[in-house]
Amino acid sequence: MIPLKVSNLVKKYGDLEAVKNVSFEIQSGEIFGLLGPNGAGKTSIISSITTIEKPTSGSIELFGGRVERENKAAKAILGVVPQELVNHGFFSAFEVLEFHSGYYGIRSNKKHIEFLLNKLGLWEHRDKKIKQMSGGMKRRLLIAKALVHQPKLLLLDEPTAGVDIELRASLWDFVRELRDSGTTILLTTHYLEEAEELCDRVGVINHGKLIKIGPTKQLIKELTSRQVAIYLKNKLPPCQHINLIKSNAQEKSMLFEISNQTGIGELLAQLKFPMEDIIDIQIQEGRLEDAFVKLLGDKNELTS
């Protein structure tokens, strides 16, 4: 059964159309990345799934069940880490997790809570009140909260914002571990290397429209090109090849940009350089970031 199916979702805030007729599906056991610049509509989509915001129109299905304010069964299998940190007044981390387990229908959940606290490096902070925690600790507590009931679908809205480098890498591992144990994951992030590393598939959203969706690798292949640098022994031969973008006489190197469909052999055959003259060939594959920038057209748009 499809973990998440969003159909023709529209979300308006007054006159502002934050989500414009978005449809997509997430497959079982995958990590799906929702990418887009600030204000693109990612959080609006997530809030619609969790029923925090009411969609203007369209429908959302979780494992075949329609998501609605009062549909408990659908909500009970969903876990969410919101983008914004949450405070809990007078309660300690452990108490917060116990109450949260209760809201999801689990009366005694001590063992799993202990496991999560250990896993997320929060065990020694379990008696701290939330306001006594650092930003990164609060974010990890949010992750623990989202996992108390072992959700089948996990929504992570910028889970690594404000988390230090070392911890971020461990979080990635944790997310992969969750996926491997059967949790389906949707995440948003502004770190494209993170998305490239983690996500099986990504969807790119801009100004509320879903402009591209597909397997991460395929997207990169389709939208980026490879850069091939060739280092020669002797002085550079004259070359008019259309893919040549730079030559450096001092380094005796030439830089070519070729599409992902063109083979290296093809390029070399066209160039007809003598084999014994070539010292080195370096190939740089395209990155998700390049694909992203290309999709959004203009880099300036990233901040608009």
Ligand X SMILES: Nc1ncnc2c1ncn2[C@@H]1O[C@H](COP(=O)(O)OP(=O)(O)OP(=O)(O)O)[C@@H](O)[C@H]1O
Tell me which residues touch another protein (CB under 8 A): 50-52, 69-70, 72-73, 75-76, 78, 80, 82, 84-91, 95, 99-109, 111-112, 114-115, 118-121, 130, 140, 145, 149-150, 166-167, 170-171, 173-174, 177-178, 181-183
CB nearer another protein, residue 108 or residue 282? 108
Residue 90 partner contact from ligand X, another protein, Mg ion, none using kind-dependent CB cut-offs of 5 to 8 Å: another protein
Q: Tell me phi and psi for residue 224, to 5 degrees.
A: -120, 170
Residue 223 Cβ, how far from another protein at the closest point, in Å? 33
* Residue 42 or 75 having the CB closest to another protein: 75
Least Cβ distance, residue 156 to ligand X (angstroms): 12
Q: Does 47 bind Mg ion (CB under 5 A)?
A: no
- Of these partners, ligand X, another protein, Mg ion, none, which one is at the site of residue 50 (CB under 5 to 8 Å by kind)? another protein
Stretch that binds Mg ion, among 8-16, 34-42, 60-68, 255-263 (CB under 5 A): 34-42
Neighbouring CB atoms inside 10 A of 201's CB total: 19
- 83 makes contact with Mg ion (CB under 5 A): yes
- Distance of closest approach, residue 30 Cβ to another protein, in angstroms: 16
Using CB distances below 5 to 8 A depending on partner kind, what does residue 255 bind out of ligand X, another protein, Mg ion, none? none
Q: How far is the CB of 147 from ligand X (least distance, A)?
A: 22
Q: Which is nearer to Mg ion, 64 or 135 (CB)?
A: 135
Compute how many other C-beta atoms are within 10 angstroms of the C-beta atom of residue 55. 21
In the complex, least distance from residue 83 CB atom to ligand X, rounded to whole angstroms? 6
Contacting residues toward ligand X, per CB under 6 A: 13, 16, 18, 36, 38-44, 83
| Pair 223, 286: CB distance under 8 Å | yes
> Which residue spans within the chain are E strands per DSSP?
4-13, 16-26, 31-35, 57-62, 65-66, 78-81, 153-157, 184-188, 201-206, 209-215, 225-232, 244-248, 253-259, 278-284
Q: What is the C-alpha to C-alpha distance for residues 247 and 254, in angstroms, rounded to an integer?
A: 4
* SS3 (DSSP) at 279: strand
**Lateral strand order in the sheet of 4-13:** 16-26, 4-13, 57-62, 65-66
DSSP 162-215: T--HHHHHHHHHHHHHHHHTT-EEEEE-S-HHHHHHH-SEEEEEETTEEEEEEE
* Contact residues: Mg ion, CB under 5 A: 42-43, 83
